[in-house]
Amino acid sequence: MQPVDLLLLKPMQPSVMDALARSFTLHRADTAPDRDRFYAEIGPRIRGMATGAQAPVDADLIARLPNLEIVASFGVGYDTIDTKAAAARGIVVTNTPDVLTDEVADLALGLLLATVRQIPQADRYLRAGHWPKSPYQLTATLRGRTVGILGLGRIGRAIARRLEGFGVSIAYHGRRPQDDVGYAYHSSLLGLAHAADVLMVVAPGGPETNGLVGAEVLAALGPDGILINVARGSVIDEPALVAALQAGTIHSAGLDVFAREPHVPADLAALDHVVLLPHVGSASVHTRETMGRLVVDNLSHWFGGNGPLTPVPETPWAGQA
């Protein structure tokens, strides 16, 4: 049987690309010198797609692929994929949930500790030779804090379980209260920000959450407040955050994601009381390999006639299950 034609929008790690090349006829959009000509020639043959969060799949691209059946996305977030356009065509979208939950939750706790205790700043202080002259300044603490989690999904819950070991109070905001947890629920994000002095952002991206954490929420968090974001940069109003950090409206921030990655606002990067990471929440060898295998397995199962393994709820397969 002729191998299925598969579109790869951007490179993945070599083991994943090798696995895809063994099972499919691979067509790489990222190396095509003329994208319009590429899609005109290859588009009608494409039945599957492998992509990641930094390669948007919009309605125009979907329209260029008249025989597309499945989009397998590398990552848990899929806000850069037009799932409405996919669903209208009967195209299934899959993501890679669960396999990265623990890695991102670990990173979130590390980022929180690094921000509260100024670990990167203290490291720079030592390396610059300042310690013999005077001890490093005293820092803030986790003691006595309430951590508010925006988005108590898989990753949010994993973060909350880890936080329990630190003896902090935990609260959350989401679409609805969850009966199987004992954390305090707040029906509004503003209410959560007033109640907490750490706001941990784990909400999905997309139009519904765009700029959700803005000036009013940051003001409610207060001058001792700390913002941590391991979700999507779009959830934060970045200019409002920069202004809040510059004015002392909040204490500090730890960010793994940004609105226009890989570009970080210069005003934000210039601040010394923030910790900034280059979107590395799931970026361990182990987890990225596992995510890649799930991308391959979703495609292999689909074209083997066994359905997708991890379909997102907005596209048709979830409705048929």
- pLDDT for the residue 321: 45
**Grouped pLDDT means (10 residues each) for the chain, 321 residues:** 88 92 94 93 96 88 97 93 96 95 98 98 98 98 97 97 97 95 97 98 93 98 98 97 98 97 96 97 95 96 95 82 45
- pLDDT for the residue 55: 82
- pLDDT for the residue 1: 55
Q: What is the DSSP letter of 28?
A: E
Query: To 10 degrees, what angle do helices 154-164 and 101-116 make?
Result: 50
Q: Specify the CATH superfamily of domain 5-97+286-320.
A: NAD(P)-binding Rossmann-like Domain (3.40.50.720)
Give this prediction's pTM.
Answer: 0.91
Output the CA torsion 19→78→281→293 (10° steps).
-20
- pLDDT for the residue 70: 98
**Per-residue pLDDT reduced to its tens digit, 272-287:** 999 999 999 999 999 9
DSSP letter string, 302-317: HHTTS--SSB-TTSHH
Distance CA 111, CA 106 (A): 9
Distance CA 124, CA 122 (A): 5
Q: Which fold has domain 101-276?
A: Rossmann fold (3.40.50)
Amino acid at 260: R
Distance CA 97, CA 80 (A): 16
The residues annotated as belonging to the active site are: 232, 261, 279
- pLDDT for the residue 280: 96
- Bridge partners of residue 52, in order along the sequence: 74
CATH 3.40.50.720 positions along the chain are 5-97+286-320, 101-276
DSSP letter string, 251-268: SEEEES--TBTTB--HHH
Q: Give the distance, in angstroms, between the CA of residue 263 and the centroid of all CA atoms in the same chain.
A: 16
